[in-house]
A and B are shown apart, each in its own frame.
Chain A
Amino acid sequence: MIGFLVRRLGWMIITLWVVFTISFALMRSVPGGPLSSERALEPEIEKNIRARYHLDEPLMKQYLRELGNTLQGDLGYSFKLADFSVNEIIAQGFPISATLGIVALGVALSIGLTAGIVSAIRRQSLIDVTLMSLATVGIALPNFVVAGILIILLVFLWPVFPAAGWGNLSQLVLPGFCLGLPYAAYVARLARTGLLDVLSQDYIRTARAKGLRTPTVILRHALKGAMLPVVSFMGPAIAGILTGSLVVEQIFAIPGLGVHFIQAATQRDYTLAMGLVLLYTTLLYTMNLLVDVSYVYLDPRAKLE
């Protein structure tokens, strides 16, 4: 177990280093840095500023300096947002994005598992077909289309929710739902297949034969085994929710990291973009690691290699 964690941590550091190097190379290969704007600076002043920020040093030295700063947790200053360091922006946006992500994950798991279990139990009934068709719709429709339709319906035609913004609970419902919906659909399909597989196993027959009631059989015995495909899907789902938040935060005007990232990318705020890419890589890697570890607790047959 310890060996496994150490090895994975080693790979994580290598991955982060690869991402850092690629981003650094890309950033510095672009003509026109943060100092080239429409209003050109006096050459002497620009030279001074370049010296101040070590932009006049050889590339290798800059690279090592940046790497050192990043290792100490200092991601530098934003090129575009006045007076903000990347760390401050992350500290502001991260709690918001994390809340949104957790709500979306909750939506995905609760709706998805319920739908999956119901349709597995009532297999090939009307409700099963309906739920599975809905799941396919949920997978096929991009979340910004769902968001657009829901805003028209639930904000303007029948005003139940506020259109956008951040701060109270009712502003959390629509974005969380839109973000979680596609993953709820995947989870429903996985849970249904998983549960159907498990229900035909011998140990379920044993459980039934010893006289347990159906809910007990499903909740206590079958569900644990049926969860395995769902758990291994959690890694990709978390990655997807991170990505989807780019769009959803944009639509609902939520001041999270996604909006910052898009702005950083379109305005070429390289330090911020790079800091966020590093953060997202770390998050994704940690989540995948957690998923792998929890897999072992659910499935005694699985071993950490």
Chain B
Amino acid sequence: MSEAKSELPSQRAAADDLQRYEQLWAEARQVHGVSLGRDAWRRLRRNPSAMLSLTILVVLSILAFLTPALPLQSPRQVETLRSFAEPTSEHFWAPHLQTPSAQAEGTNDEQWAAFWRDVDLKFGKLDAIEKLLLQARVAVFGPYAIGSICGTDELGRDLLSRLFWGARVSLIVGVVATLVSLVIGVSYGAISGYMGGRVDNIMMRLVDVMYSIPFIFVVIFIISILSEDSIKAWLIDHGIDRITIFFFLVGAIYWLTMARVVRGQVISLKHEQFVEAARTLGAGRMRIVFRHLVPNLFSVIIVYLTLTIPRVMLFEAFLSFLGLGVEPPDVSWGLLANEGVRVITPVKIYWWLVVFPGIALGVTLFALNFFGDGLRDALDPKLKNR
């Protein structure tokens, strides 16, 4: 009896505790932890210029991807009759493609074969996805295409269409070349920082030496050597075209800063407990570096990524301008700007050939710069939860 009596208050206390814990638990359930990503996204959304830039970039990428499906004229069909036509709203919606129809001669199959031959001439070699998009275009718009509202160039090619097809090349070069530089820079910096000691010293000295080499000149030198006919033929035989070379050369230049930044971050992280824990569990060096340390650098890497893409795009434009980048009949914005600047003469001003490529490049680079700045502010841990 007395035992039961002495138990009662403790039981009551336990029940009280339980109630209290449940209350706390209920409160805790209402509070959500804010992950860095979500917090950054919240802060980014409050930055109107960054959001506008993001919208522009997303729309631009979608349009560039869908270019074959849009009702545009051929980017490479030469029509000397309408050389240097001014921007016009005439023939705003005119037939452009030879699509199969009931009125035309020949069976359906023959007509389709003729259609694809025509496409080959007008758009060059297309891959499977582009062909699919082109079929979608024929299904939706039929043979029609938008008229030359941005004017035409020296050879009478439609500028609007060239801008869209150029966007594909310019954007892909920017993104892929930056990714190459990212892979090199992150691996180099992370390994150097984690190894420390003499290895780190030598690796960073090498970066210092490379910093003071004017790489752009070396790259131009290398590209000119690789454009030598016999080397070029050999490279093309092995499936390497100039754009691939470009990716690797640019990647080889722009990784230096990334390597330094990543190294600094890794050094400050490598004595944290989670690294010790991983090491205690028997993780190897490479596993610690790439599975445990690199994911923690995600915010630094992504900010650097958005700020490097515009630089790379500018560099592509720069090289194409000098005639060392993308080769005709492919187009890129730099090449278009080059064509525009080249035909500036006192006799007649073809302003549209300079202004429209300039606007396309300018708006994209503007958006990338603003978005990168906004992202950097948003991911800054010092501003977290503000």
Tell me the chain B residues, 310-344 only, with Cβ under 8 Å from chain A: 310, 314, 317-318, 321-324, 334, 337-338, 340-341, 344
User: Is A262 on the interface with B (CB-CB < 8 A)?
Assistant: yes
Given contacts A136-B369, A151-B344, A268-B225, contact A144 B338 (CB under 8 A): yes
Q: Which residues of B contact A19 (CB under 8 A)?
A: 213, 218
Q: Is the CB of A276 within 8 A of B217?
A: yes
Q: Answer whether residue A59 sits at the interface, using C-beta atoms and an 8 A cutoff.
A: no
**A30 to B340 Cα, complex, angstroms:** 34
Question: For the complex, what is the distance from the CA of A141 to the CA of B314, rounded to whole Å?
Answer: 8
- Contact pick for A141, options B214, B221, B365, CB 8 Å: B365
8 Å CB contact of B209 from A18, A137, A280: A18
Point out the residue from B217, B346, B370 that lies within 8 Å of A136, measured CB to CB: B370
Chain B, residues 350-373, CB within 8 Å of chain A (1/0): the string is: 010011011001100110011000
B212 and A15 contact, CB distance less than 8 A: yes
Tell me the nearest residue of chain A to B310, going by C-beta: A140
Q: Does any Cβ of A come within 8 Å of B228's Cβ?
A: yes
Cβ of B15 within 8 Å of any chain A Cβ, yes or no, is: no
> Chain A: which residue is nearest B209 at the CB level?
A15
Judged by a CB distance under 8 angstroms, whether A216 is at the interface is no
Query: Is B52 an interface position by the 8 A CB rule?
Result: no
Residues of A within 8 A of B276 (CB): none
Q: Of B221, B230, B317, which contacts A23 at CB under 8 A?
A: B221
A27 to B218, CA, bound (A): 12
Quick check: is A31 within 8 A (CB to CB) of the other chain? yes
Contact B354 A149 (CB under 8 A): yes
A142, A274, A276 — most chain B CB neighbours (10 Å): A142
Residue of A nearest to B362 (CB): A141
Question: Across the interface, do A139 and B369 meet the contact criterion of CB distance under 8 Å?
Answer: yes
**A140 to B369, Cβ gap below 8 A?**
yes
A204 touches B (CB below 8 Å): no
- In the bound assembly, the distance between CA atoms of A266 and B223 in angstroms comes to 9
A154 to chain B, nearest CB (A): 12
Q: Which residues of A contact B370 (CB under 8 A)?
A: 136
| A288 beta carbon closer than 8 Å to chain B | yes
Closest chain A residue, CB of each to CB of B311: A139
Q: Does B139 contact A (CB under 8 A)?
A: no
| Chain A residues in 8 Å Cβ range of B222 | 26
Are B322 and A246 neighbours in the complex by a CB distance under 8 Å? yes
**Contact status B341-A144, CB under 8 Å:** yes
B30 an interface residue at 8 Å Cβ cutoff?
no
Is B58 part of the contact surface with A, judged by Cβ < 8 Å? no
Chain A residues near B321 (CB, 8 Å)?
142, 144, 247
Across the interface, A11 reaches (CB within 8 A) one of B209, B322, B344, namely B209
Docked Cα-Cα span, A268 to B324, in Å, equals: 13
Taking CB atoms, residues of chain B closer than 8 Å to A250 are: 322
- CB of A142 within 8 A of CB of B317, answer yes
Residue numbers in B under 8 Å from A15 (CB-CB): 209, 212-213
Q: A152-B344, A261-B217, A277-B218 are in contact. Are A137 and B362 (CB under 8 A)?
A: yes
Contact A26 B221 (CB under 8 A): yes
| Bound Cα distance from A247 to B245, whole angstroms | 22
Docked-complex contact A145 and B357, CB < 8 angstroms: yes
Asked whether any CB of chain B lies closer than 8 Å to the CB of A284, the reply is yes
A151 to B328, CA, bound (A): 26
A118 lies within 8 A of chain B by Cβ: no
Residues of the A chain whose Cβ atoms lie less than 8 Å from the Cβ of B340: 148
Q: Please, how many residues of chain B have a CB less than 8 angstroms from a CB on the other chain? A: 44
* Contact between A284 and B362, CB atoms less than 8 A apart: no
* Interface size of A in residues (CB-CB distance below 8 Å): 51
* Cα-based distance from A157 to B216 in the complex (angstroms): 35
Is A196 on the interface with B (CB-CB < 8 A)? no
Q: Are B361 and A141 in contact (CB under 8 A)?
A: yes
Shortest B144–chain A CB gap in Å is 32
Partner of A18, one of B213, B216, B361, B365: B213
Asked if A265 meets B337 with Cβ closer than 8 Å, knowing A148-B354, A148-B358, the reply is no
Q: Indicate whether A251 reaches chain B with its CB closer than 8 angstroms.
A: yes
Q: Would A140 and B366 be within 8 Å (CB), given that A15-B209, A31-B228, A145-B357 are in contact?
A: yes
In the complex, chain B residues whose CB is within 8 Å of the CB of A268 = 224-225, 228
Shortest CB-to-CB span from B306 to chain A, Å, is 13
Q: Distance (Å) between the CB of A153 and the closest chain B CB?
A: 9
Partner of B324, one of A32, A266, A274, A277: A266
Judging by beta carbons under 8 Å apart, are B221 and A273 in contact? yes
B209 touches A14 (CB 8 A): yes
Q: Is the CB of A265 within 8 A of B344?
A: no
Q: Are B366 and A136 in contact (CB under 8 A)?
A: yes
B230 touches A31 (CB 8 A): yes
User: Could you give, for residues 15-28 of chain A, a 1 whenever the CB lies within 8 Å of some chain B CB and a 0 otherwise?
Assistant: 10011001100110
A285 on interface, CB distance cutoff 8 Å? yes
Against B, the Cβ 8 Å flags (1 = close, 0 = not) of A248-278 are 0011000000000110011010000110110
- Which residues of the other chain, B, contact A223 by a CB distance below 8 angstroms? none
Is B136 among interface residues, defined by CB-CB distance under 8 A? no
CB-contact partner of A277 in B214, B334, B337, B365, under 8 A? B214
> In the complex, A124 Cα to B15 Cα: how many Å?
59
- Indicate whether A222 reaches chain B with its CB closer than 8 angstroms: no
Q: Is the CB–CB distance between A137 and B354 below 8 Å?
A: no
Note all chain A residues with C-beta closer than 8 A to B358. 141, 145, 148-149
B: residues with CB less than 8 A from A are 208-209, 212-214, 216-218, 220-225, 228, 230-231, 310, 314, 317-318, 321-324, 334, 337-338, 340-341, 344, 346, 349, 351, 354-355, 357-358, 361-362, 365-366, 369-370
Q: Apart from A268-B228, A284-B214, what are 12 other A-B pairs with CB-CB below 8 Å?
A: A19-B218, A23-B221, A26-B222, A142-B321, A144-B321, A144-B337, A148-B337, A148-B344, A151-B344, A155-B346, A262-B322, A268-B225
**Shortest 3 CB-CB distances between A and B: which pairs?**
A145-B358, A140-B365, A148-B354
**A contact residues vs B (CB 8 Å cutoff):** 11-12, 14-15, 18-19, 22-23, 26-27, 30-32, 136-137, 139-142, 144-145, 147-149, 151-152, 155-157, 163, 239, 242-243, 246-247, 250-251, 261-262, 265-266, 268, 273-274, 276-277, 280-281, 284-285, 288
15 A-B pairs with CB atoms under 8 Å apart are A18-B213, A23-B218, A136-B369, A137-B362, A137-B366, A140-B365, A142-B334, A144-B321, A144-B337, A148-B341, A243-B216, A243-B318, A246-B322, A266-B323, A288-B212
